[in-house]
Amino acid sequence: MPIHDSANATNGHHARPKVLVPEKLSPDGLALLRKTLDVDERKGLSAEDLLGIISDYDALIVRSETKVTAALLAAGKKLKVVARAGVGVDNVDVGAATKLGIIVVNSPSGNIGAAAEHTIALLLATARNVPEACASLEAGKWERSKLVGVEVKGKTLGVIGFGKVGISVARLAIGLGMHVQALDPYASPAVASSHNVSLVSSLPDLLAVSDFLTIHTPLIASTKGMISTKELQGMKKGARILNVARGGMINEAALLDALNSGHLAGAGIDVWSTEPPEQDSAATKLIAHPKVVATPHLGASTVEAQENVSIDVCEQVLSILRGDLPRSAVNAPLILPEEYKKLQPFVRLVEKMGSLYTQHYSKPRAHHSSTSTPPHQDTRTTFDLIYEGSLATLTNTTPLFAALIKGLTSAITSHAGTAVNIVNADLIARDRGLVINEQHSRTPTTHTYSSLVTLIARPPHPSPSSPSTTTPPDQIITGYCSDAQIFISRLDRFATSFVPAGHLLICHNYDEPGKIGVVGGLLGREGVNINSMAVAPVSGAGAGAGGEGEEKRGEALMILGVDREVSEEVVGRLVREEGIWDVSVVGL
């Protein structure tokens, strides 16, 4: 199995791999690295400094302060791993890392106890005015009646995000005698009830019942700005709000207004939309506000949590640079980084092949003789995914399998917000009843390219009770990669070569003069620009090998790359043209 050059670092022939640590990390983990790697602790680097030196490093270990941008990742020519010594990876451009084949790992549970305890610290501090009382006493005052607080016992804590930290906070709050209700569309009601927590189904419902509200979601598009003026107005008068998750989820200006108007009685905030907060911003006004208990992103800052996350991510960095698999990969497949890089274009190709299959074959298609052909796909259709050439020698094709599931399903389902990935592909395939047989063909490929992938969809044989006795034909899509570019080389019995990307129009027509003009003219009149065109005659290899059943002489496919989605009405007019059998619209 191929491993990294850096794996040979200890044999004396290669320089030791280098790890850059631009933030404060506990020495416990770093000591593990120093045995075999060169570790540079360089605190206080500017973004430009980082960009200037990153190309020297094989691994980068960060906390929440370093912005790991697409530009930084692209400049890290030797980078194999970015490790986040903590939970949130919102400061890492994970998409860019995935594209570059750089693995991102984190420490998903090393600091959750610390974050939960800090939340409870802020809960009690806001309830009992602890910082204000301390400041008053330091100022020589004795203000007992002004600083009367409230008890948390018997009060309702609303938890947004019932994940690892949210559950720990709920457990601690229940220990304090609180009632806990939670909002989390992805949480299991059984897990919630086993913690004596009731799940609510909407944010307004949670806001209306909460005496204290605490947020424990990741910072993602759906949570950014989730608490603003309307939501704060929807809370009980005199309620208090806590945020130890991420700044940016509460609108800071709206929170300031709610505190100034007296609608909210207090806030405990650890995280800020910009860290450190900018001068004269709403955040700095919140920090100075007497009703706010503010901390500088200290949720994970305990000795114990820092030891945990440091050891956790350093062990993973060692694994990856040794050529082994990490424990907590955020983006990465369970496959070696070098193999992953090699597979990247094929991953894109197979995903497009799956999506092309779903859109071209399983959707009703506009047809010359009637309004549409019925969809070919039957839920009992099985798929063969055949690897030829050098791909056939790979032992781990999990990313290709996952890419196929993603392609087959993404055009028709959202999986309730769950992206198909290496970890969940198998589960999603089983849930949807998709049967996929991966085959490694040892026959040497006659194609110019060293690797081919073929997808064959095999419809089931008709049941004895079915009115039709003929088995529908198999549907075949073949593709290949040339450098990093991906191509489709066969669609059923048609030999072709086109890039599966953007809006495509696939016309099945008589192979006779004038057809291109007819289609081009009609699209031109509709203002649709044709960017690319491939004409696909019946292939020698493909003729008679499955396909759509009836043998049509002089037939061809025309695959047009167009600049926008073509409307059903235009497609309807196309198929009414003489000599055009059917047309499908595909978006890849």
The footprint of ligand NAI (CB under 6 A) covers 86-88, 111-112, 115, 160-166, 183-187, 216-219, 222-223, 244-246, 270-271, 297, 299-300
List the strands of the sheet with 580-587, edge to edge: 372-373, 365-367, 580-587, 503-510, 555-562, 530-537
Sole residue written with tokens 């990669």: 481
The question of whether 360 is a catalytic residue gets the answer no
User: Closest distance between ligand NAI and the C-beta of residue 200, in Å?
Assistant: 10
The question of whether 297 is a catalytic residue gets the answer yes
299 lines the binding site for ligand HPV (CB under 6 A):
yes
User: Closest distance between ligand NAI and the C-beta of residue 216, in Å?
Assistant: 4
* Cα separation, 355 vs 374, whole angstroms: 18
22 lines the binding site for ligand HPV (CB under 6 A):
no
111 lines the binding site for ligand HPV (CB under 6 A):
yes
User: Closest distance between ligand HPV and the C-beta of residue 175, in Å?
Assistant: 23
Residue 238 binding: pick among ligand NAI, ligand HPV, none (C-beta 5-8 Å cut-off by kind) = none
**What is the maximum span of the chain, computed from C-alpha positions, in angstroms?**
99
CA angle 457/462/467 to nearest 5° reads 135
Residue 63 binding: pick among ligand NAI, ligand HPV, none (C-beta 5-8 Å cut-off by kind) = ligand HPV
Q: Which of 64, 316, 328, 409 binds ligand HPV (CB under 6 A)?
A: 64
User: Closest distance between ligand NAI and the C-beta of residue 305, in Å?
Assistant: 8
* Cα separation, 85 vs 177, whole angstroms: 33
CA angle 435/439/441 to nearest 5° reads 160
User: Closest distance between ligand NAI and the C-beta of residue 302, in Å?
Assistant: 10
Shortest Cβ contact with ligand HPV: which residue?
Answer: 86
Phi-psi category of 552—alpha, beta or left, where left has phi over 0 and alpha has psi -120 to 50? beta
88 lines the binding site for ligand HPV (CB under 6 A):
yes
Among positive and negative, which fits the CA dihedral 506, 511, 517, 519? negative
Q: Which residues contact 532 (CB under 8 A, 6 or more apart)?
A: 498, 499, 560, 561
Residue 406 binding: pick among ligand NAI, ligand HPV, none (C-beta 5-8 Å cut-off by kind) = none
Burial class of residue 474 (count of CB atoms within 10 Å of its CB; 0-12, 13-18, 19+):
middle
Do you find a cis peptide bond into 277, omega within 30 degrees of 0? no
* Cα separation, 115 vs 110, whole angstroms: 10
How far, CA to CA in Å, does 285 sit from each of 196, 394, 397, 532?
Answer: 38, 58, 54, 56
Three-class SS state of 358 = helix
17 lines the binding site for ligand HPV (CB under 6 A):
no
216 lines the binding site for ligand HPV (CB under 6 A):
no
Contact 568, 366 (CB under 8 A): yes
User: Closest distance between ligand HPV and the C-beta of residue 339, in Å?
Assistant: 30
**Only segment of 116-124, 297-305, 379-387, 540-548 that touches ligand HPV (CB under 6 A):** 297-305
* Cα separation, 312 vs 27, whole angstroms: 12
What residues form DSSP beta bridges with 240? Answer: 212, 266
Sole residue written with tokens 């610390």: 114
87 lines the binding site for ligand HPV (CB under 6 A):
yes
List the strands of the sheet with 179-183, edge to edge: 198-199, 179-183, 156-160, 212-215, 239-243, 264-269, 292-294
Measuring CA to CA, which residue among 106, 109, 111 is closest to residue 91? 106
User: Which residue, 244 or 452, is less far from ligand NAI as judged by CB?
Assistant: 244
242 lines the binding site for ligand HPV (CB under 6 A):
no
User: Which residue, 108 or 537, is less far from ligand NAI as judged by CB?
Assistant: 108
Q: Which residues contact 282 (CB under 8 A, 6 or more apart)?
A: 252, 253, 255, 256
Residues touching ligand HPV: how many (CB under 6 A)? 11
* Cα separation, 394 vs 450, whole angstroms: 13
Q: Which of 19, 26, 30, 63 binds ligand HPV (CB under 6 A)?
A: 63
User: Which residue, 307 or 577, is less far from ligand HPV as judged by CB?
Assistant: 307
User: Which residue, 245 or 505, is less far from ligand NAI as judged by CB?
Assistant: 245
166 lines the binding site for ligand HPV (CB under 6 A):
no
User: Which residue, 87 or 528, is less far from ligand NAI as judged by CB?
Assistant: 87
301 lines the binding site for ligand HPV (CB under 6 A):
yes
User: Closest distance between ligand NAI and the C-beta of residue 279, in Å?
Assistant: 22
**Only segment of 31-39, 170-178, 292-300, 321-329 that touches ligand HPV (CB under 6 A):** 292-300
Catalytic-role residue among 297, 365, 376, 490: 297
User: Which residue, 111 or 377, is less far from ligand HPV as judged by CB?
Assistant: 111
User: Which residue, 205 or 257, is less far from ligand NAI as judged by CB?
Assistant: 205
Residue 184 binding: pick among ligand NAI, ligand HPV, none (C-beta 5-8 Å cut-off by kind) = ligand NAI
User: Closest distance between ligand HPV and the C-beta of residue 270, in Å?
Assistant: 9
User: Closest distance between ligand NAI and the C-beta of residue 225, in Å?
Assistant: 11
User: Closest distance between ligand HPV and the C-beta of residue 297, in Å?
Assistant: 6
Shortest Cβ contact with ligand NAI: which residue?
Answer: 163
**Only segment of 83-91, 322-330, 351-359, 511-519 that touches ligand HPV (CB under 6 A):** 83-91
**Only segment of 2-10, 79-87, 252-260, 580-588 that touches ligand HPV (CB under 6 A):** 79-87
* Cα separation, 577 vs 458, whole angstroms: 31
Measuring CA to CA, which residue among 527, 485, 492 is closest to residue 506? 492
First to last CA, the chain: 34
Q: Which of 300, 403, 457, 504 binds ligand HPV (CB under 6 A)?
A: 300
User: Which residue, 155 or 297, is less far from ligand HPV as judged by CB?
Assistant: 297
DSSP string, 313-353: HHHHHHHHHHT---SSBSS--SS-HHHHHHHHHHHHHHHHH
Please report, as ranges, the residues that interact with ligand HPV according to CB under 6 A: 63-64, 85-88, 111, 297, 299-301
Active site positions, annotated: 246, 275, 297
